[in-house]
Chain A
Amino acid sequence: DQQVKQNSPSLSVQEGRISILNCDYTNSMFDYFLWYKKYPAEGPTFLISISSIKDKNEDGRFTVFLNKSAKHLSLHIVPSQPGDSAVYFCAASQSGTYKYIFGTGTRLKVLA
């Protein structure tokens, strides 16, 4: 049972445009959400997070939006750069537990 879903396996965007990566979850007890970026043959690196008490968090070119009623979060990258080409994973966790549940990932390709 996949509790965190990324339904788009891949996405291509022109350099300078907006990239929007989506993530859905099923467990309403999740209260902390994270996005990670992963290059081939490297470990994931943390990008940005959001607590369930917020609906938006921004860090430079990266903004994460959370819609609790829809159990949906999205990552916006503006403007997209070729170096953003990577696999992006969303993850969720629940207070009182230690673990992070990851989605299946979306491969972003930013075209120069």
Chain B
Amino acid sequence: DVKVTQSSRYLVKRTGEKVFLECVQDMDHENMFWYRQDPGLGLRLIYFSYDVKMKEKGDIPEGYSVSREKKERFSLILESASTNQTSMYLCASSLFVSGGRTEAFFGQGTRLTVV
């Protein structure tokens, strides 16, 4: 079974702090993603990476950055946390398949509260 593990289930951080969310997958997937889930807005893509050190912005990258130094690990960084970044953060990974027809596997999520 594919396992995507996020380092924390729950986090509480103060406004202005730098926050690191870590994600590790164990299936040698090329693609990794960070989404946030908010009520009424579904899952929105923040950043994704299709290879080590490669990254692309998703739909809502403002206020975030990412790092992928190793294939199995994808980190999301909140440069200066703000209360509007309070959300459920979901990491996912997928295998590269020519034509792109494969599913993504998700971690258990990190509920981040910024106070």
Contacts and interface: CB of A to CB of B under 8 A. Distances in A.
Interface of A: 6, 9, 31-32, 34, 36, 41-46, 49, 51, 89, 91, 93-105
A51 B103 CA distance: 12
A98 B97 CA distance: 10
Nearest to B88: A41
3 closest Cβ contacts across the A-B interface? A43-B106, A104-B42, A102-B43
A44 B106 contact: yes
A104 B108 contact: no
Given A43-B4, A104-B41, A105-B42, A94 B106 contact: no
**A-side interface mostly:** loop
Given A94-B100, A97-B100, A102-B35, A45 B40 contact: no
Contact of A34 (B9, B58, B103, B107): B103
Given A89-B43, A95-B100, A97-B100, 17 more contacts: A32-B101, A42-B108, A43-B4, A43-B90, A43-B107, A46-B104, A51-B101, A95-B99, A98-B50, A98-B56, A100-B33, A101-B45, A102-B43, A102-B44, A104-B40, A104-B41, A105-B43
Nearest to A3: B59
16 contacts: A31-B101, A41-B9, A41-B111, A43-B107, A43-B109, A44-B43, A46-B103, A91-B43, A95-B99, A95-B101, A98-B48, A98-B100, A99-B56, A99-B58, A100-B33, A100-B104
